[in-house]
Amino acid sequence: MAKYTIISDIGKGIISLLRDKLVPDAVDKSESIGICDPKERGGYIVGVHPYDIKEDTSGRGAEKATLPDGSIQDPPAMIELYYVISVCSKAEPEAKALDEAKIIGKIIQVFKDNPNIPPRYMPNNAGMPVENVPISMLPINMEEKVKVWTMFGESYKLSVFYIVGPVAIDSENIHKPKKRVETIHLGSQQYEPKKVLEFATRIKEEDIDDEYTQRPDEDEDEEENEDNEDMEDENSDEESEDSMENDEETDGEDSEDDLEGEEIDSEDSEDNLESEESGDESSEDEEELESEDAEEASAESGSSEEALVDENEEEFEENSETEDEAGSDDINFESSDE
């Protein structure tokens, strides 16, 4: 994985490698090697010209990465870089072609011996394992080479074409893992996060007065609104006073009603006591009447019994008299017979 600066870092690595291997055998000075446009070479004898960037379609490395904290990073952008390296010797015209051929031969040797750009030539901030930056010659025909030089607006020159990559540019889309299981240590005082409730007050834009954007009409409207608000406040104060008076009157009436209710309750209790006393007296009167009735009934029964006894005695006397008469008649009859 690498940062977005990997394209620039690879260019620096190629220049460092060539300067180390070409100087002083093929090129006199390290300043004569650099990255440039073919039309504006400056003093460069060996010029490195980047001309194309393509996406790698092989699918290598295009996978999501798991970071040490468990986060998931989206797949990186895998790219391939295309370079053309040309030589413009400053030798005499008779030796210029031979000098350029010698330098190009050395360049081919360097990249053949180093199929990957050595880590010591890459900047420290490259961000990816620099041993995984491959570089190889691009096998293209003359027609394609001419098209590239025509694109630069130059006539074809003796040059070599290289491809670097694939290399990755990290994605900044990182997804934090979702916590599904919480570790609980039994028998320990484990920290328990507490929920914090936060209240926020939001003010509408129309409620904010901006003295710099207000118009005169708005000032007048505000004054009228303030007067109306003052009137409303006075009315509300009067209504509150009236309500307080009404509440006091109702409270006084309620207290009087409560006192009257207490008096009525006391009168009712007295009436209940009187009714209980009258009930006791009536019960006593009833008991006396019942005793008198019982005495009269006993007296009447006694008198009736005496009357029956007298009648029985009278009847007995009458019977005895009739028997005596009958006996006397019998005696008389017997004496007549004799």
> pLDDT per residue over 224-235, tens digit each?
677 777 777 777
- How far is it, in rounded angstroms, from Cα 132 to Cα 125? 15
> Kind and range of the H or E element at 80?
strand 77-87
Quick check: is 265 in a domain? no
Most confident of 180-194, 270-284, 294-308: 180-194
Q: Does residue 180 lie in a domain region?
A: no
300 occurs within a structural domain: no
- pTM higher than 0.85: no
H or E element in which residue 256 lies? helix 216-337
Q: What is the pLDDT of residue 123?
A: 86
Q: Calculate ∠ Cα 102-104-110, nearest 5°.
A: 105
**Nearest C-alpha neighbor of 85 from the set 118, 55, 119, 47:** 47
Q: Please indicate, yes or no, if residue 155 is contained in any of the structural domains.
A: yes
Residue 245 lies in a domain: no
Decide if 208 is inside a domain: no
Asked, for residue 332, whether it belongs to a domain, the answer is no
Identify the band that residue 29 occupies on the pLDDT scale cut at 50, 70 and 90.
very high
For residue 281, pLDDT over 70 is answered with: no
Mean pLDDT of the chain: 76
Q: Is residue 240 part of a domain?
A: no
Domain count, the chain: 1
Place 34 in a pLDDT band, splitting at 50, 70 and 90. very high
Cα–chain center distance at 258: 55
- Pairing between strand 174-175 and 72-73? antiparallel
Domain residues for the domain of 133 are 6-175
